Every structure is written in structure tokens, then in C-alpha cells.
Structure 1
Amino acid sequence: MSVFTSSSAAGGPIIDFAAAESSLEIAGLSLAYGEKPALRDLTLRIPRHRVTAFIGPSGCGKSTLLRALNRLHDLNEEVVRRGEIRLEGQDIHAPQVDVAELRRRVGMVFQAPNPFPMSIYDNVAFGLRLQGGMRKREMDDTVEWALQSAALWEEVKDRLRASAWTLSGGQQQRLVIARTLAVQPEVLLLDEPASALDPISTLKIEELIRNLKSRLSLVLVTHNMQQAARVSDYTAFLQQGELVEYGPTRTLFTNPRLRRTENYITGRMT
């Protein structure tokens, strides 16, 4: 796979995977909350059917960038944006884009599990019912498929009508992932999905992430660099809203191009 390099605002090289098939392309993206810059002229591509991790210190713009990928900033009138985000070649901010359809195609899972106050089955079926036009048997099959895809089916198949709130924290997070998968997104955004979970649940989420990349593209925000190293194929290091370095995870962690990256991943900078 060929690559080319360009310079970030900080003067360091950014690796952009020009020859790789991309799900998302970010071009010259800047975002500010009023007068406060949050992202500065970011350009990168998110490869299809791979796991891309965003790492960096608190406040560096990781979650802001993640939320920008399915327009979660739309309701904040203070947000000022320039640049483009393209999903399969289409600008997601184009006037003809249906935001609800965009968010189906680019699903989002947040840090804290957020199952709805309804049954396990109804949680997974929620988006399917909003779309409409699905028969009961087809819906049953899709709910089962989504729960299997989220590695939860064997744990809940005998209590699908029980409240989702009876599940453990790790199970609730996998349920939320199943709910997102049920509507068949093309990209799954994960904002620190295991940070509130115990080690065993965390390992299950990480295994799930690795297994899902054969079906869709995943973007993971994490403060846990060991987690990024374990599950991601590519890693982007952000600092103060800038993209400092981006490349294959193994290369970035073992042979970073920039001293700033090395200082962060070795703990000399937080």
C-alpha cells in the first residue's frame, strides 16, 4: 500500500493512505466552539474494514472529531466548522444529506452504556421499527443476528423480554452495540466504550471490536494506549486540536516519526 506525506500545522508529517479504500475522508477540517478552536485543519482518511484509534491527552479533540463524523454538533449553534467530511465520497454536510440516514450509516456508541428503558428485544428492535416495513419474523431474525454479532445472544436468548436495565454494565454496552448494528451501519464510532467497564467486560468489548471489522469500519477513541495497540490497525495522535501523526498502529507505537508522539506514548507527556 502506497502512502504519501504532507505537513500538519505543527510541521510534522501526517501519513495519508491514498491508495487504501476509505470509508471516511476528512479534508481540512477545523471546528471551534465560538472563539475557542477545538480542531485545526485536520486531513486524514479512515480505511474501510479496519479499526482506527484516536489517541491523545484530554482536551486534544478526539471526541470532538468523533462526534463530527456523524454531525452530532449540529444542534450546538456555537459550533463553527470549515472543511469537509466525506462518507463514501459524499460530503456529509451537503444540503441533500438526510441526517437521520447519515446517523444510521455512521453509528455511535458512547462511553457510558445507554440502553433504553424497555426490554432487551425492544432495545435492539428500536431502530428497525423506526425504519418500518419489516415483518415480525424478519425482525426476530435481525434482532438475533445483531445480538450474535455483539457476542450477547447466548447470554440473553432466554430473557429477551426482560428489562435491559437488568443486564450488567458490560452486557448493556454490548446491547447498545447490538442496537446500533441492527440497522446495519457502514461505520461504527466508539467513544471510550470500555472505560467504565471491568477488565473482563473490557476484553469482551475488545474482542468484539476485532471481530466486527470484517463487516464495517470502526473508529475508536481511547485514553488507554495499550487498548489502542491491541485492537487498532491505524492510530492517529492528536494534540491541541492538531493531527500530529497518523499511521499503522504497530509503526506508530514502535517507531514514531516525531518526538512529540514518542513522548506521549512513553508517558513523558500527558
Structure 2
Amino acid sequence: MSVFSTPHPAPSGPIIDFDREASCLEIEGLTLAYGDKPALRDLTLRIPRHRVTAFIGPSGCGKSTLLRALNRLHDLNEEVRREGRIRLEGEDIHAPEVAVAELRRRVGMVFQAPNPFPMSIYDNVAFGLRLQGGIRKRQMDDIVEWALQSAALWEEVKDRLKSSAWALSGGQQQRLVIARTLAVRPEVLLLDEPASALDPISTLKIEELIRNLKSQLTLVLVTHNMQQAARVSDYTAFLQQGELVEYGSTDTLFTNPRLRRTENYITGRMA
């Protein structure tokens, strides 16, 4: 799968091979713990705008914890302790003046299991728009159509928009959830194992969708599937035991990683 032709240095800190692209998110010295149990340890990385960045690593390494930290999903857990900063377009997301609801509109989240609401396909996509208010019916219709087209679902559902979302297949439900998130025009889309429960055909549709969406927004993907990370991402960060081990362009990390720890993981010699 990979070719390793250069020696592996053993530097003291994480390896970061990052082109000087404009950053959308900047993470600086992020440490996060559940009570006395550390989940993330002094992470520093920049996520480039209008690119797909994948987080990989063994179970329990902190991938999903990091993803959830990017739109403050840990806020309601009183056991969580945090140090460090996360900036979205230069603004500290934990600053007192930041409204969490607005942050989560700007940084949308799609989870592993599809979670459409118990309502029609149309109403699912329009849900966030109605919460915002001030949108006329014709404008809402246009946005719903745009979101479903952006999620590669419009042609499959345009004749049954009033049907229950629960009647859709699993892959269609996941794309509907993505359309619902896109409808409120986020700047960042967080994807936590979005295709892990789907069949191969649905998975390919989700992957194609991820590749197409980066022209519109920044995407951050958590996946256990390294082939998927290699297919869809521009940059990959390898995490282990809550630490950032190596971060760089996906092509470089998968074909010529700088650290033996990274090589062992992507070649299956480490669980």
C-alpha cells in the first residue's frame, strides 16, 4: 500500500508538514480532560480553508473529542476541563462574546448515525431556516432545493418532499442530514465517521459529496477507514493517546510518513 524510502527521524515533538495555506481553524495548545482523565494533550494545528482534513488514529485516541471541541459540544459536560485556544477565522470560539448557537451554525456537525427529525424531507432541511426566521416561503423553497442539490439528494427526492424522512434509506438519510446542515450556510462541516454504518454504494456517494463540498466550505473528517481518508482528504492528522503525532498532506503522510509510529499505524502493525 505504501512505499517508505527515507529514514525515519525521531524528533521530540509532533511532525507537522503543512503548506502555507490560509487557515480556517487554528488550535493552539489544546488540552482537554474528563475529570482526571486526559483526552487531548497540548494539541497545536491549523486547519486550512476549503480543504478536507482527516483525523485518524486508534479507538480512544481523541479524534472525536477533538472534533466535538471545534464547536463546543463539551460545554454541557461539567467534568470536562479545557486549556488552550481554538480560533475560527481568527476569533477565539470560547470568548465571552461568542454566542454558542451562532458558532454551531457556522461550524455544523454530522454524526456517525443519521439523525433525521420525525418530519418530512422538506421540513428537515427547512428546520434551521425556520429557527432563524425572516425567510419567505419562496426563498425557503429555493434554499431547500439548493441544499438538497449540494448534498446530491435532490434528484432522488424532489417528487416526495412531503414524505417522511424516515422512509429514506440510511445513505439518503445521511445526505439529508448534510443538506439540513448546509441549509444554514455553515463555514465548516464536521463529519464524525459519516459513512461507517452505510453500504459501499452509499459510502461512495458520501465520499464524492465530501470532495465536491470543499469548494463551498471547510471540512473536517474523523474516520477509522484509512483508505477513505486517503481518497477524500487533502491533509491528515494522526493522533495517538490524545497527542498529535504527525500532520501533513495526505499524499505525504500515507506514502512517506516521517515517523515510525505513523508508518506502523497506516500499515496495520499497530491497532
TM-score normalised by the chain length of structure 2: 0.95
CA RMSD of aligned residues (A): 0.9
Shift in CA distance, 128/103, structure 1 to aligned 2, threshold 3 Å: same
Matched, 1:103 2:104: yes
Measured after TM superposition, the shift of residue 92 of structure 1 is: 0.1
Q: Letter of the aligned partner of 2:194 in structure 1?
A: P
Shift in CA distance, 27/18, structure 1 to aligned 2, threshold 3 Å: farther
Mapped to 1, the partners of 2:224 and 2:254 lie a distance apart of 14
Mapped to 2, the partners of 1:102 and 1:232 lie a distance apart of 24
Q: Equivalences for 1:107-122 in 2 at 5 Å?
A: 107-122=108-123
Question: Which residue is 2:184 aligned to?
Answer: 183
Deviations 1:166-220 (A, max 9, x none): 0000000000000000000000000000000000000000000000000000000
Question: Which residue is 2:48 aligned to?
Answer: 47
Measured after TM superposition, the shift of residue 17 of structure 1 is: 3.6
4+ aligned runs moved over 3 Å, structure 1: none
Question: Which residue is 1:166 aligned to?
Answer: 167
Measured after TM superposition, the shift of residue 30 of structure 1 is: 0.2
Matched, 1:141 2:157: no
Do the aligned partners of 1:12 and 1:245 also contact (CA within 8 Å) in 2?
A: no
Name the SS for the 1:72 alignment partner.
Answer: coil
Question: Which residue is 1:236 aligned to?
Answer: 237
Q: Equivalences for 1:55-134 in 2 at 5 Å?
A: 55-134=56-135
**Which runs of 5 or more structure 1 residues have no equivalent in the other structure?**
1-9
Question: Which residue is 1:227 aligned to?
Answer: 228
Measured after TM superposition, the shift of residue 18 of structure 1 is: 7.0
Do the aligned partners of 2:193 and 2:221 also contact (CA within 8 Å) in 1?
A: yes
Q: Letter of the aligned partner of 1:136 in structure 2?
A: K
Q: Letter of the aligned partner of 1:214 in structure 2?
A: S
Mapped to 2, the partners of 1:13 and 1:58 lie a distance apart of 19
Measured after TM superposition, the shift of residue 13 of structure 1 is: 3.6
Aligned residues: 261
Measured after TM superposition, the shift of residue 19 of structure 1 is: 2.6
Q: Identity of counterpart residues, as a percentage?
A: 89
Mapped to 2, the partners of 1:57 and 1:104 lie a distance apart of 30
Q: Letter of the aligned partner of 1:88 in structure 2?
A: E
Question: Which residue is 2:246 aligned to?
Answer: 245
Do the aligned partners of 2:18 and 2:249 also contact (CA within 8 Å) in 1?
A: no
Name the SS for the 2:20 alignment partner.
Answer: coil
Name the SS for the 1:158 alignment partner.
Answer: coil
Mapped to 2, the partners of 1:70 and 1:14 lie a distance apart of 25
Q: Letter of the aligned partner of 1:198 in structure 2?
A: D
Name the SS for the 1:94 alignment partner.
Answer: coil
Measured after TM superposition, the shift of residue 56 of structure 1 is: 0.1
Do the aligned partners of 2:18 and 2:247 also contact (CA within 8 Å) in 1?
A: no
**Which runs of 5 or more structure 2 residues have no equivalent in the other structure?**
1-10
Mapped to 2, the partners of 1:33 and 1:151 lie a distance apart of 38
Measured after TM superposition, the shift of residue 14 of structure 1 is: 2.6
Mapped to 2, the partners of 1:106 and 1:148 lie a distance apart of 20
Question: Which residue is 2:219 aligned to?
Answer: 218
